[in-house]
């Protein structure tokens, strides 16, 4: 057997993900040592309650409630506790002590990523967080390293599995929003606070991380435009199906040029239409996928499990192996990159296509009035379909208007003008159409 040196690994948290990471570190010790060139020795696991039942059986002597002490003796600290504090302070303490840090904590990286990256850079430590976006799917390393020589133009992600599950049930099985949500909840797919999923907060955290890495720019989480799925109705799902689209909650990071010529980025989360021909339309159930468009590489898609203890542990261990190899080889960690420092543009600057559903008076001249309002705001219709209004109200019709690419601010002004016009009895839905131009 090779006489490997030891690297001391401290694990903070032993829940769904941490317990699987601990098991794999212990069970695959010899193989990991051969891959790394050093033995990954788990020196302790910090938890709140040493006697709490665990998903896997682990040596009791590894457990401690003294996380602060544990991190000081480690070469690599794996943080899988979740939340902001004490995770943030423990990571800073670990970095100050010279340790590399691996975390899956999307909330922490979204809120404090730049602070932690700067602390790591100052001491040459490595900060890695592959598991923070889309669970098992390798996407952080591909963006940071594999595509480092390319120019990314757009990232479209289905990065929240529970909302994808809900929308997929509504689309494929005709569930109401309430029924789909109940099933997702019964299956344990939703966060303890489901608003994090259904109102798009979880996806916004991931959008921040993706946008920051893809565009070498700090994108604060509160600069991400966020709309959840709670407003998505069965009528919208049906209209989408009729037009050859599917509704997905998308996290979008995009390079943009504002109306005044400012080069910037947009980060946003909302339920959007995509063509059923688009690869993201085939992402069903609770699965995640990230679709990347780059100038040289073209279109790439990364697909897989966005959550799950074992699946996420795979991404965590990949980061641990990478950090451990650096210890063996020597040299500083790869620093974070925010050199481009682009402006983070507001939602009004986004250019995309739209589908607008209107209830209108069914009488002569109505179409001309609506066409005039669109033209006044510089919005061009690509298609118009008329049917009898869904509620069957006499004398009204439903119009579904698909637009060519328009500026969000212009579209919003158009919708206001439509709402205010007497021929329009209601604006039933406004959805963006993504993945096409
Ligand atoms: P769990 O809630 O299952 O586990 C959290 C663990 O952290 C528990 O063992 C808990 O201890 C411990 N812990 C919490 N607070 C403290 C504290 N103050 N001091 C010491 N220990 C503490 O979380 P998950 O495993 O699901 O998630 C871990 C991280 O991974 C999170 O950041 C999450 O966002 C991220 N992640 C999770 C995914 C998943 O599928 N679960 C997917 C992608 C990322 P005790 O057991 O004693 O209560
Ligand atoms: N709540 C998240 C989801 C868990 O539904 O995808 C993984 O981050």
Phi, psi for 61 (deg, rounded to 5): -65, -15
CA of 190 to the centre of ligand 2 (A): 7
111 and 26 in a single domain? The answer is yes
156 and 130 in a single domain? The answer is no
How many domains are contained in the chain?
3
Choose among 180, 174, 208, 206: nearest CA to 194. Answer: 180
Atom 4 of ligand 2, residue of closest alpha carbon? 307
Determine, yes or no, domain membership for 340: no
Atom 1 of ligand 2, residue of closest alpha carbon? 191
Determine, yes or no, domain membership for 286: yes
Determine, yes or no, domain membership for 48: yes
| Contacts with 289 (C-beta within 8 Å, 6 or more apart), sequence order | 134, 137, 157, 158, 279, 280, 283, 301, 302, 303, 304
Q: Reply yes or no on whether the pLDDT at 12 is more than 90.
A: yes
8 Å CB contact between 159 and 221? no
CA of 305 to the centre of ligand 2 (A): 10
Long-range contact pairs involving 278-281 (C-beta distance under 8 Å, separation at least 24): 278/435, 278/436, 280/156, 280/158, 280/248, 280/250, 280/435, 281/246, 281/248
- Secondary structure (3-state) at 335: coil
194 and 300 in a single domain? The answer is yes
Q: Work out the mean pLDDT of the chain and round it to a whole number.
A: 96
Q: What are the residue ranges of helices labelled H in 2-156?
A: 16-27, 29-36, 67-72, 87-96, 106-123, 140-141
Ligand 2 atom nearest 288 alpha carbon: 6
Q: How far is CA 257 from CA 266, 343, 351, 413, 425, in A?
A: 10, 10, 9, 20, 36
* Residue tagged 């021909």 (tokens): 277
Beta strands in 133-262 (DSSP E): 152-158, 225-226, 245-257
149 and 286 in a single domain? The answer is yes
CA of 370 to the centre of ligand 2 (A): 41
Task: For 211-229, give one letter per residue: b (16+ CB within 10 A) or e.
Answer: bbbbbbbbbebebbbbbbb
Cis bond before residue 86 (omega within 30° of 0)? yes
Which range marks the domain in which residue 125 is found? Answer: 7-136+310-329
Closest ligand, as measured to the CA of 162 = 2
CB-facing half-sphere around the CA of 125: CA atoms within 13 A:
26
Q: State CA 428 to chain mean position distance.
A: 28
Kindly report, residue by residue over 298-309, the tens digit of the pLDDT: 999 999 999 999
**What dihedral angle (degrees, nearest 10) is formed by the CA atoms of 195, 200, 202, 205?**
-140
Kindly report, residue by residue over 57-77, the tens digit of the pLDDT: 999 999 999 999 999 999 999
Mutate to test the pocket of ligand 2, among 161, 303, 315 (most ligand atoms within 8 A of CB): 161
169 and 291 in a single domain? The answer is yes
CA of 64 to the centre of ligand 1 (A): 15
Kindly report, residue by residue over 310-368, the tens digit of the pLDDT: 999 999 999 999 999 999 999 898 888 899 999 999 999 999 999 999 999 999 999 99
**What dihedral angle (degrees, nearest 10) is formed by the CA atoms of 48, 50, 56, 59?**
130
Closest ligand, as measured to the CA of 194 = 2
Catalytic site residues?
A: 206
Choose among 219, 157, 203, 213: nearest CA to 344. Answer: 219
95 and 220 in a single domain? The answer is no
- List pocket residues of ligand 1, CB cut-off 6 Å: 13-18, 46-49, 52, 67, 80-82, 86, 104-106, 131, 135, 307-309, 312
Kindly report, residue by residue over 231-277, the tens digit of the pLDDT: 999 999 999 999 999 999 999 999 999 999 999 999 999 999 999 99
107 and 165 in a single domain? The answer is no
**Residue 391 — pLDDT band, cuts 50, 70, 90?**
low
Q: What is the CATH number of the domain that holds 77?
A: 3.40.50.720
Q: Look up residue 4 and give its DSSP letter.
A: P
Determine, yes or no, domain membership for 399: yes
294 and 325 in a single domain? The answer is no
* Alpha-carbon gap, residue 77 to 9, rounded angstroms: 6
Closest ligand, as measured to the CA of 55 = 1
């Amino acid at each position: 057997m090779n006489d490997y040196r030891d690297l001391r690994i401290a694990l903070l948290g032993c829940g769904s993900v941490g317990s699987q990471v601990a098991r794999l570190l212990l069970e695959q010790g010899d193989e990991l040592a051969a891959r790394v060139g050093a033995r990954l020795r788990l020196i302790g696991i910090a938890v709140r309650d040493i006697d709490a039942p665990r998903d896997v059986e682990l040596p009791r002597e590894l457990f401690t409630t003294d996380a602060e002490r544990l991190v000081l003796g480690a070469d690599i600290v794996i943080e899988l506790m979740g939340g902001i504090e004490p995770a943030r302070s423990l990571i800073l303490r670990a970095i100050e002590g010279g340790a590399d840090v691996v975390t899956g904590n999307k909330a922490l990286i979204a809120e404090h990523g730049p602070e932690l990256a700067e602390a790591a850079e100052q001491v040459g430590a490595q900060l890695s967080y592959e598991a923070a976006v889309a669970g098992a799917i390798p996407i952080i390393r591909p963006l940071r390293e594999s595509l480092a020589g390319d120019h990314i133009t757009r990232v479209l992600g289905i990065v929240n599995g529970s909302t994808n599950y809900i929308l997929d049930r509504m689309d494929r099985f005709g569930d109401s929003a309430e029924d789909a949500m109940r099933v997702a909840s019964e299956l344990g797919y939703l966060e303890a606070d489901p608003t994090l999923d259904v109102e798009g907060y979880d996806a916004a955290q991931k959008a921040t991380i993706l946008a920051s890495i893809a565009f070498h720019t700090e994108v604060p989480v509160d600069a991400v435009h966020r709309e959840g799925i709670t407003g998505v109705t069965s009528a919208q799902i049906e209209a989408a199906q009729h037009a050859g689209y599917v509704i997905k909650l998308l996290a979008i990071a995009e390079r943009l040029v504002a109306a005044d010529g400012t080069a910037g980025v947009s980060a946003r989360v909302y339920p959007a239409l995509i063509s059923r021909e688009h690869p993201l339309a085939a992402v069903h159930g609770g699965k995640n996928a990230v679709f990347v468009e780059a100038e040289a590489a073209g279109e790439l898609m990364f697909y897989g499990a966005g959550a799950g203890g074992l699946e996420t542990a795979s991404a965590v261990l990949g980061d641990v192996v990478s950090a451990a190899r650096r210890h063996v080889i020597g040299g500083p960690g790869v620093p974070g990159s925010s050199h481009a420092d682009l402006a983070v543009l507001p939602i009004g600057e986004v250019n995309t296509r739209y589908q607008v559903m209107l209830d209108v008076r069914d009488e002569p001249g109505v179409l001309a009035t609506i066409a005039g309002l669109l033209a006044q705001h510089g919005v061009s219709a690509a298609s118009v379909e008329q049917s009898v209004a869904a509620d069957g109200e006499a004398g009204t019709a439903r119009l579904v208007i698909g637009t060519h690419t328009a500026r969000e601010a212009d579209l919003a002004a158009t919708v206001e003008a439509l709402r205010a016009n007497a021929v329009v009895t209601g604006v039933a839905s406004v959805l963006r159409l993504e993945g096409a131009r």
